[in-house]
């Protein structure tokens, strides 16, 4: 598999969506940007905010589509075409109701799982074999799924999600440095994520 060149966090732009479950992807890439060494330059373009820099010896782009979730693929495909990035070189970061809060899963490919942002990317790229990091947000009342994904985290959930964002950003860093297989082996865990500091202690290869 080619090395990852583009990390795209999915979400909705605007103050009213800040901190909501559906914006988990945005929150993870925001944190990732503070954790990467060097300087990543911010740009407005391709219907998105995106950052360019170098990490792991190659050019890396980090993107937040500003198209709203169900058109995310248009922004991502535009940046991919401009920078000659293949679907196998992107990693999508997004919320997933099929995973409990406190869990993450990294995969090399898969279906949309009913997620409108992933559907859009699949439609625009014509591919499904792109890496993705799914961030569990749990199930709401089945009749109120839209209300659930657009809701904020309850007080007792905020500490859990704060740790999830840290672990997710660390997982992406490792995937960039050591490859997706290594990151999957370490970070794909059953049950709640361990603290990032505990994972590092168990795995000395993580810097």
Give a yes or no: residue 207 inside a domain.
Answer: no
pLDDT interval class at 43 (50, 70, 90) = very high
User: Tell me, what's the pLDDT at 192?
Assistant: 65
- Domain count for the chain: 1
CB burial class (10 A; 0-12, 13-18, 19+) of residue 146? exposed
Q: What angle do CA 109, 157, 196 make, to 5 degrees?
A: 60
Is 118 a domain residue?
yes
Confidence of residue 175 (pLDDT cuts 50, 70, 90): very high
Confidence tier at 196 by pLDDT (50, 70, 90): low
| Gap between the Cα atoms of 18 and 14, Å rounded | 7
From 22, 43, 139, 148, the catalytic residue:
22
Domain housing 17: 6-202
Between CA 24 and CA 92 the distance in angstroms is 11
| 3-state SS class at 27 | helix
Give the 3-state DSSP-derived string for 100-157, with helices as H, strands as E and coil as C.
CCCCEEEECCCCCCCCHHHHHHHHHHCCCCCCEEEEECCCCCHHHHHHHHCCECCHHH
The pLDDT value recorded for residue 137 is 94
Residue 148 designated active-site: no
The pLDDT, as a whole number, for residue 201 is 66
1 found inside a domain: no
pLDDT at 85: 98
Has residue 144 been placed in a domain? yes
The residue with tokens 């999508």 is 92
Whether 187 maps to a domain, the answer reads: yes
Would you say residue 142 has pLDDT above 90?
Answer: no
Identify the pLDDT of residue 64.
98
Residues 6+ apart with CB under 8 A from 14: none
pLDDT at residue 189 tops 90 = no
The predicted-structure confidence for 98-107, as pLDDT tens digits, reads as follows 999 999 999 9
In a domain, 145, yes or no: yes
Output the domain CATH number for residue 197: 3.40.50.1470
3-state secondary structure 46-115: CCEEEEEEEECCEEEEEEEECCCHHHHHHHHHHHHHHHCCCHHHEEEEEEECCCCCCCEEEECCCCCCCC
- Give the tokens for residue 112: 């949309």
More confident residue, 35 or 207: 35
């Amino acid at each position: 598999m080619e090395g990852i060149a583009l990390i795209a966090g999915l979400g909705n732009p605007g103050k009213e969506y800040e901190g909501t479950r559906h914006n988990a992807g945005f929150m993870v890439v925001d944190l990732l940007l503070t954790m990467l060494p060097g300087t990543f330059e911010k740009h407005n373009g391709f219907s998105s905010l995106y950052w360019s820099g170098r990490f792991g010896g190659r050019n890396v782009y980090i993107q937040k589509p500003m198209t709203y979730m169900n058109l995310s693929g248009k922004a991502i495909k535009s940046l991919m075409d401009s920078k000659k990035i293949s679907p196998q070189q992107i990693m999508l970061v997004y919320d997933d109701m099929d995973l409990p809060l406190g869990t993450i899963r990294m995969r090399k490919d898969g279906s949309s799982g009913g997620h409108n942002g992933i559907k859009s990317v699949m439609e625009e790229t014509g591919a499904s074999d792109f890496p993705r990091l799914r961030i569990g947000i749990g199930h709401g009342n089945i009749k109120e799924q839209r209300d659930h994904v657009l809701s904020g985290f309850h007080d007792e959930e905020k500490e859990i999600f704060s740790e999830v964002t840290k672990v997710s950003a660390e997982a992406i860093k490792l995937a960039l440095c050591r490859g997706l297989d290594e990151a999957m082996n370490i970070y794909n865990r059953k049950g709640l994520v361990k603290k990032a500091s505990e994972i590092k202690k168990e795995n000395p290869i993580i810097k």
